[in-house]
Amino acid sequence: MTDRFEKATFAGGCFWCMVKPFDELPGIERVVSGYTGGHKPNPTYEEVAAGGTGHREAVEITFDPAIFPYEKLLDIFWRQIDPTDPGGQFYDRGTSYKTAIFYHNERQKELAEKSKAELEKSGRFDKPIVTEILPAGPFYPAEEAHQDYYKKNPYHYNRYFEGSGRKAFIEKHWTVKKDDQELRKRLTPLQYEVTQNNGTEPPFENEYWNNKREGIYVDIVSGEPLFSTKDQFDAHCGWPSFTKPLSHAFIKERLDTSHGMIRTEVRSVYGDSHLGHVFDDGPEPTGLRYCINSAALRFIPKEDLEKEGYGEYKVLFED
């Protein structure tokens, strides 16, 4: 590891669910699932799950703080967990599933304590924040079968993510609270119809279908980063099309059987905005075509990323 990289270690319950939120983000070198906080060297999954080792399931993130600051990692961490649960996370109970931030230096400790205090003060939860902030110790990578589980076993991962109760908890506590009157004032009638009523704008008569400027697109409602012009291509369909999102952590997909068709709808995670649909007729390397409504997006050119609060994405456009 070169000098520019740091490590961040978070315990958030089942480590399967703690990789995807951080994976694919700029400045993230790797995310490893493993065990930490206990006393037994090189424990196995079975030993940790059985209890008695003192270890918790955790992820160790190697990141470049000059690109993706530790403060933003903390913000993502809090959005994945129930920080008020002292006995585990969702379906999973016991010490190995308890939450914690393991700090690697004094600055990380100070930032973690500050973010915890701010979350407590926000009133988002009606119970005390009990997530511990502890010094980092030895981290033992988990078995290969547990690494990148959401990629290797997407069907089982998605069933577990929903069945455990984590998905519903995140949606309840972190989806943007929408004031319909305020939204109608802030959005154009078309933007409102597309994002809130699952509408579709006319092809070839929308803002970004043939955009040639470099930058990223964010949700018009919530501001969460969604797509990059680096992944945009002309699908000759009249809507902006992309081979992949900036990160799968900010989009969700669901079955859409409207209009007598079977399609996969794409929505933003925290804004819960209707964005468009994804099809399997795209180009390499993904073979996918995310067909997205311009009306659901706000474009931020690369020269404005820093001042708009998306500075970590500048690296995408550097030679």
pLDDT band at 260 (very low <50, low <70, confident <90, very high): confident
134, 168 contact by CB (below 8 A): no
CATH code at 6-174? 3.30.1060.10
DSSP-derived secondary structure letter, 191? H
The chain-wide mean pLDDT, for the chain, equals 95
Domain boundaries defined on the chain = 6-174, 180-317
Task: Give 228's strand partners.
Answer: 216
Q: Give the model's pLDDT for residue 3.
A: 77
Q: Give the model's pLDDT for residue 256.
A: 86
DSSP-derived secondary structure letter, 142? P
Query: Over the stretch 292-306, which tens digit does the pLDDT of each residue have?
Result: 999 999 999 999 999
What is the sign of the dihedral through the CA atoms of 207, 277, 155 and 158?
A: positive
Fold entry, domain 180-317? 2.170.150
Rounded CA separation 135/303 (Å)? 39
Q: Give the model's pLDDT for residue 259.
A: 81
Percent of the chain with pLDDT over 70: 99
Q: Is residue 118 pLDDT above 80, yes or no?
A: yes
What is the sign of the dihedral through the CA atoms of 166, 253, 119 and 28?
A: positive
pTM for this entry: 0.89
pLDDT band at 319 (very low <50, low <70, confident <90, very high): confident
14 is catalytic: yes
Active-site residue (options: 81, 269, 291, 300): 291
Q: Which two tokens stand for residue 128?
A: 């005390």
21 sits in the region (left: phi over 0; alpha: psi -120 to 50; else beta) called alpha
pLDDT band at 1 (very low <50, low <70, confident <90, very high): very low
> Residue range 29-39: average pLDDT?
97
Rounded CA separation 208/218 (Å)? 12
Same fold, 6-174 and 180-317: no
Query: Over the stretch 185-225, which tens digit does the pLDDT of each residue have?
Result: 999 999 999 999 999 999 999 999 999 999 999 999 999 99
Rounded CA separation 309/303 (Å)? 12
- Among residues 183, 161, 26, 5, which one has the least CA distance to residue 91? 161
Q: Where are the alpha helices (DSSP H) in 36-104?
A: 45-50, 70-78
Q: Which two tokens stand for residue 270?
A: 């925290």
Residue 59 CB contacts under 8 Å (≥ 6 apart), including other chains? 9, 10, 12, 15, 18, 19, 22, 31, 32, 33, 34
Rounded CA separation 99/111 (Å)? 17
Rounded CA separation 183/225 (Å)? 19
